Amino acid sequence: MQIGYFVEQLYSDLPEDEIIKNGGFFGVPNKYFDPKVGAKLYHRYISEHLEAERVGFDMLVLNEHHSNPACMSHVVTVEASILAYATKRAKIVTLGVPLPITKNPLRVAEELAMIDMISGGRLVPGIIRGASFEQVASNTNPTQNRELFDEAYEFMIQAWTREGPWRYEGKHFHYRYVNPWTRPLQEKPLVLVPGVISPETVVWAAKRGLPYVALATEVNATRKMWNLYGDTAEKMGYQVGPENFGYLQKMVLADSDEEAYEIGKGHMFGGSHATPKYSALPGYNSKIAIREYANKFYALMNPKAADPHNVEQQRKALLDNYPKLVDAGHILVGTPKTVIPKIRKILEQLRPGMFTVWGPEGPVAHEKVMRMMTLMGNEVLPAIREMAKELGLDDPFSVKLGARPLPANGRWKPLVEDGEHTAAA
């Protein structure tokens, strides 16, 4: 198993009242942004990722969002390039580059290739469609998002693997001269596909044999996506295993259960990235994807008060929902002693080959995060590795993807069954 560390990189010096009154982070005016504060936060988040490598995390996981304060990593390749040079061992994972809204897959291919070379071949690129609200910010037609994504991905792979110069004439992208002098040090970097309960994305990844990474989605809904991936893989002629899956788990550790519980409330800070009118733009997702997202993810994390724009009512709705999320294991909080058994339950249920800790969010002190890193390195990471070894959780860097043969009866057997753990074939 590969174990990663991730945090959304919130611009935390922001009145929560303004987010709630706005209905979400997207749309909050940038008059609240102070470049001096932003500069300190960038240094802080980079230092925390450096500490994550020091204490033993295998992967430093980064993401990218635009035009809102929930995520300060607006150009993920910039931060990835810094970590590529400053670190020595950990993989640099980008979850990911939003191909449809960048509108220049050649530039993306070149940037990622440079990062791979600088890091000595430690890049693990993830590719995403970009959040629904980002279609507004980038002036992208949401009905064309998926076809933009498909074409950009195929072009990027060609730019890494095909000898130049050559000409490209596609539906959305056109290059008269393709001859990049930056190509990955790895022969072909492993591309990850993150998702939030979108069946189409799961099928897309399975058809190409690319690992699917669930972004902290509810466990039963995630298992449903695992099974859909496995069914698709069977049709493609291969058996899935833990190496085909990754999972992000929200987690807060402290020296006492009470302290961790209080810090964990930061995951509720401000509520959602965007209001429903921006998070489900017409044409961006299929009807089934919208239904799954609304029922299995959005509603779970973002309960609505009777008057969601009433600051006190909405803040109370968020905090009232927090204990339910903790009880359900959606957010793990506590000491290493209390959290490790909960991690085991997640690993037994989902059997991912990649497991990423989503650290503290909200206005939490840097010192609290660094203390969590120490606890992770001393107690939790060794325990996860022992569990992974016991459960046979192979990762995609140690096992060839798509190499598991189908069972003799020709049917794919799910890795997990409701209420019990089933060993992989």
Q: At residue 129, what is the residue type?
A: R
Distance CA 384, CA 333 (A): 16
Q: At residue 130, what is the residue type?
A: G
Distance CA 207, CA 229 (A): 9
Chain centroid to Cα 263, Å, comes to 21
- Tokens representing residue 89 in the block: 């061992």
Q: Which residue has the tokens 């001859």?
A: 179
Residue pair 335/256 in contact by the 8 Å Cβ criterion: yes
Query: Based on the number of CB atoms within 10 Å of its own CB, is 233 exposed (0-12), middle (13-18) or buried (19 or more)?
Result: buried
Distance CA 418, CA 425 (A): 17
What burial letters (b/e) apply to 40-53, b meaning 16+ CB within 10 Å?
ebbeebbebbbbbb
Residue pair 251/3 in contact by the 8 Å Cβ criterion: no
pLDDT over 90 at 289, yes or no: no
Question: Would you state the pLDDT for residue 299?
Answer: 57
What is the mean pLDDT of the segment spanning 151-162?
97
Instruction: Round the average pLDDT of the chain to a whole number and report it.
Output: 91
What is the mean pLDDT of the segment spanning 271-276?
79
- 290-343 confidence digits (pLDDT tens): 666 655 565 566 777 778 778 999 999 999 999 999 999 999 999 999 999 999
pLDDT over 50 at 117, yes or no: yes
pLDDT band at 356 (very low <50, low <70, confident <90, very high): very high
pLDDT over 80 at 392, yes or no: yes
- 42-75 confidence digits (pLDDT tens): 999 999 999 999 999 999 999 999 889 999 999 9
Distance CA 423, CA 412 (A): 13
CATH superfamily of 2-421: Luciferase-like domain (3.20.20.30)
pLDDT band at 423 (very low <50, low <70, confident <90, very high): very low
pLDDT band at 4 (very low <50, low <70, confident <90, very high): very high
Q: Where are the alpha helices (DSSP H) in 120-218?
A: 132-137, 145-161, 199-207
What is the mean pLDDT of the segment spanning 381-396?
97
pLDDT band at 422 (very low <50, low <70, confident <90, very high): very low
Q: Where are the alpha helices (DSSP H) in 164-245?
A: 199-207, 219-236
Q: At residue 183, what is the residue type?
A: R
Kindly list the domain boundaries of the chain, sorted by start residue: 2-421
Residue pair 314/20 in contact by the 8 Å Cβ criterion: yes
- 221-270 confidence digits (pLDDT tens): 899 999 999 999 999 999 999 999 999 999 999 999 999 999 999 999 99
pTM of the model: 0.93
